[in-house]
Amino acid sequence: MKLRISECLGAILLFSGVTLAQQSPSVSQAGVAPAPAANMTSASSRSAPSAPSTSSTSPAKHKLGPLEISVNWRTRAEGWNWFEGNTGNSDYGLWNSLLRVGIGQTGESLDWFIEGEQPSILGLPDGAVVAAPQGQLGLGGTYYAANNNHTNEANGFVKQAFVNFKGLGPVGLKVGRFEYFDGAEVKPSDPLLATVIQTRISSRLISNFGFSAVQRAFDGVQFSVNSGQDNLTLFGARPTEGVFQVKGMDELDVDMYSGAYTRSISTKRNSAELRVFAMGYIDHRTLVLKTDNRPQAVRAADQGKIEIGTYGLDYAHVFNAEHAGKFDFLLWGALQGGSWGNQTQHAAAFVGEAGWQPPVTVLKPWISAGYSYGSGDGDPNNGRHSTFFQLLPTPRQYARFPFYNMMNNEDLYATLNVRPLSKLSFRTEGHTLRLASASDLWYLGGGAFQPKTFGYTGRPSNGNRGLANVWDASADYQFTHSFSATLYYGHAWGKGVIEAIYPKSANGQLIFLETNYHF
């Protein structure tokens, strides 16, 4: 099986050519400024450190009298070449558009903001969903199944609607529908530290699933207290539907709670941030079939709630060694307890990463390497569920070719970022992936998004641990302050787990061109 690269590129250029023509750089030359709206998360989740990505809550805004208007439009043309089994269409293209228009007002004592979203997904394949264990053949199959087996879908709904009270001294209070990104409670002043936290810590457990065609929000309350270098943020909410389906207005019967204490540290040569967090997750959808490694009949009989507590901490540090450049490292870890239906939950996850930005003005390279571990379940019959549960994250931020996540996964990886021009950056990554436990499943997904769909899928390991080797590369170009584009290509060489499920070809590829316009 071969990916028809020329056909995919042709489709990408066709779709994106229309987009580029419609999005003239002369439309707006305004810079990016803080606003109460949330982001259109870029496909390339880590830019070179010399110009880190802006905060996830900082789109462009324009004044209309006392009001502030924001328009965010993301388009993406995708070419998929999923792993190939004996049936189904694993080689296809699709296109999606995500338009968000907001209006709000910023005052001394409070902000308010209302945003509408209009997602469209076109050209979905009707043959990319087959019987288990092959299942949905890439995100085209996932979008197709989530939208009632329609090849073209569009909708509109209220994405955000909140009031942010600010006139309470060091206390902040946000109430309504909004986006939340765990780990991003505080934005460091050091640009490199801010980039490390935004791209390697934020959104691991709670986020808007920024890469998906629809994304999610939360209905609830966010409370924060700032005192010098210390911040305490409390969050309680319910997620909305959306993510893969264009229906995104209603809430899910899932409760989310989070508390995070963050301490910022800054000296002449050092910048660091320590965060301690606790999260609660309660899934009341007791009739939804849970995804785990037990037999289906046992899972169908288990109608208990999922009630999980996640407790952890992370630490990120940047050291300026002057003539030797800048060094960064991070540690992230979490433990889980509670109940997984009729089972008890005992799981853990860990991430360690280190990077170096040498004092080189040409290309401005940034090299980093790390290891990520999410526990798996070694025995489906012992009454204990040991698979680390990733709650409601943006998994694609850490798996740029999105066929895996942190659940039952070991990931040894290295990254290179370069910036040859002020407006152009390149990023490439290599990953060696294997399952943490051969007795558990290969998991995909990013959490609940429909009332009757669990949100994570699993495929059998067939006694194997080797999953894949992955290499990818992306280029980001900032044409104007308002318009940027990303080109991405990823290739996966499947190992034993994938080979046993997809006998025709265990190799997969993904290519896409994404445009982002902010007004």
**Model confidence pLDDT, tens digit, residues 72-96:** 999 999 999 999 999 999 999 999 9
Q: What is the mean pLDDT of residues 206-212?
A: 97
Q: What is the Cα 125 distance to its own chain's centre?
A: 24
Cβ proximity of 214 and 245 under 8 Å: yes
pLDDT of residue 63: 81
Question: Which residues lie below 8 Å from residue 48, measured CB to CB, with a gap of 6+?
Answer: 364, 366, 417, 418, 419, 425, 427
Q: ∠240-483-188 over CA atoms, to 5°? A: 65
Three-state DSSP class for 498? helix
DSSP state at residue 206: B
Give the H or E element holding residue 195. helix 191-200
Of 455, 454, 468, the closest CA to residue 498 belongs to 468
Of 191, 194, 161, the closest CA to residue 176 belongs to 161
CB count in 10 Å sphere of residue 87 = 12
pLDDT tens digits, residue range 351-394? 999 999 999 989 999 999 999 999 999 999 999 999 999 999 99
- The CATH T-level fold of domain 5-518 is Porin (2.40.160)
Look up the pTM and report it: 0.89
Alpha-carbon gap, residue 342 to 95, rounded angstroms: 41
pLDDT of residue 60: 58
DSSP state at residue 16: H
Three-state DSSP class for 403? coil
- The sign of the torsion formed by the CA atoms of 22, 142, 399, 307 equals positive
Alpha-carbon gap, residue 196 to 122, rounded angstroms: 35
The residues spanned by each domain of the chain are: 5-518
Cβ proximity of 487 and 43 under 8 Å: no
DSSP state at residue 197: H
Q: For residue 470, is pLDDT > 60?
A: yes
pLDDT tens digits, residue range 419-452? 999 999 999 999 999 999 999 999 999 999 999 9
Structure-block tokens of residue 112: 């308010």
